[in-house]
Amino acid sequence: MRKKYLLALALGTMLAAATIGCGKKEETNAPVTTEKVTTEAPKEDPHKGMQKSNLTGEWIDEKVANKRPVAIMLNNIKAAIPQSNVSKAEITYEILVEGGITRMLLVMQDYEGLDKIGPVRSARHYYVDIADEYNAIYMHFGQTKYAVAEIDKIGIDTLSGLSSIGNSVYYRDKKRKAPHNAYTSSEGIKKGIELSKYETLYSSSANQPHFQFQEEDTDLASGNAANKITLGYSTYTTPWFEYNTKTKEYLRFQYNDKHIDDQNNQQLSYKNVIIQFVKEWNIDKKGYQTMELVSSGKGYYCTNGKCIPITWSKDSVSSPTKFFDETGDEIKVNPGKTFISVFPRDRESKCVIN
């Protein structure tokens, strides 16, 4: 009887063990629920192959951003308008020359695909100094003895219409009268650089922004309204700018009309307007001008419909002109094209901003 009991107990234990083993197996093979993991594709850099322009602070093709600019003397009397591709300059200067007229300097880095730029006129020595600030190749058709002396003194690279390669760089538009009909082009510029064996890229030391730039369009925190800027250079010319609230740029006018680029039929417009008051006087009895650029002085910076007083300083001929706010900090200009008026300080009352 005891044997039967022990046998039954053994069978029961074996059965229980088998049942437990089966239970474990079922747990091991139970379906496992997992959540689907998704990964986002890496976003492509929107500025790949680009870098910020030293002249405008905007993102541009890195091949263009590393090019040396050209600085082109532009004829600006009534007989010379309309002008061609003046709107393509990243930075534009306007300064008095003899007789109360002005000329412009087009600092232009992206000049690809342009068939007609000008009309181009003769050099003045203070324009030579400004071109040198940008490590630019200075372009002119004619010159004064003062300009020739300054070119030789500082050794700036030039493309002169009176040089042996002038006919390769410039051409005459027979529909206009000389001397207001000398033009250059993209191909002319490149041919002149090639023949002159000039460097086409910035050196590492020269590849620096000319201005401090805001990261994005920024209104001035202080200042007065600047909806119209009038610049009374002389009785011959009083150009002005009007602020466009839609585009947030300044439209340029001169000779009682819109200032138009005849290659795109668009009015010239600029994000920033800088007025730089300088000491200016006649250098000789012919009325040629000179001015103190390696110096310091006052001025204004205008953008987005407002204007602040500034100061400026330039330490040497080749060093860049720097502009400062009232606290002494270098101003940060908005990204975009800039117009700089180098204006006689003894005519400061003729500069009206309202």
Instruction: Measure the CA angle with vertex 171, ends 166 and 177; round to 5°.
Output: 120
Reported pTM: 0.87
pLDDT digits (tens, 9 = 90+) for 23-59: 444 444 555 555 556 666 677 788 889 999 999 999 9
Query: What is the reported pLDDT for 23?
Result: 44
pLDDT digits (tens, 9 = 90+) for 65-81: 999 999 999 999 999 99
Of the pLDDT bands very low, low, confident and very high (cuts 50, 70, 90), residue 195 is: very high
Query: What is the reported pLDDT for 75?
Result: 97
The architecture in CATH of the region 50-353 reads: 3-Layer(bba) Sandwich (3.50)
Query: What is the reported pLDDT for 64?
Result: 94
Q: Domain-by-domain residue ranges, the chain?
A: 50-353
Q: Taking 60 as the threshold, does the pLDDT of residue 14 lie above it?
A: no
pLDDT digits (tens, 9 = 90+) for 318-350: 899 999 999 999 999 999 999 999 999 999 999
> What is the Cα–Cα distance from 220 to 5, expressed in whole angstroms?
102
Mean of the per-residue pLDDT values for the chain? 90
> What is the Cα–Cα distance from 183 to 119, expressed in whole angstroms?
5
How big is the chain by its Cα radius of gyration, in Å? 34
Mean pLDDT of the 290-305 span? 98
Query: What is the reported pLDDT for 22?
Result: 40
Mean pLDDT of the 158-164 span? 98
pLDDT digits (tens, 9 = 90+) for 102-160: 999 999 999 999 999 999 999 999 999 999 999 999 999 999 999 999 999 999 999 99
Query: 268 exposed, middle or buried (CB, 10 Å; 0-12, 13-18, 19+)?
Result: buried
Q: For the residues of 277-326, what is the DSSP string, one character each?
A: EE-EEE-STT--EEE--SSEEEEEEEETTEEEEEEEE--SSSSPPEEE-T
Q: What is the dihedral of CA 4, 9, 11, 15, to 10 degrees?
A: 160
Does residue 192 sit in helix, strand or coil?
helix
Selected residue with higher pLDDT from 283 and 3: 283
Query: What is the reported pLDDT for 44?
Result: 79
Q: Taking 80 as the threshold, does the pLDDT of residue 12 lie above it?
A: no
Query: What is the reported pLDDT for 43?
Result: 76
Residue whose tokens read 């009325």: 287
Residue whose tokens read 């003194």: 153
Here the tokens at position 220 are 């001035």
Contact of 148 with 117, CB cutoff 8 Å: no
Of the pLDDT bands very low, low, confident and very high (cuts 50, 70, 90), residue 2 is: very low
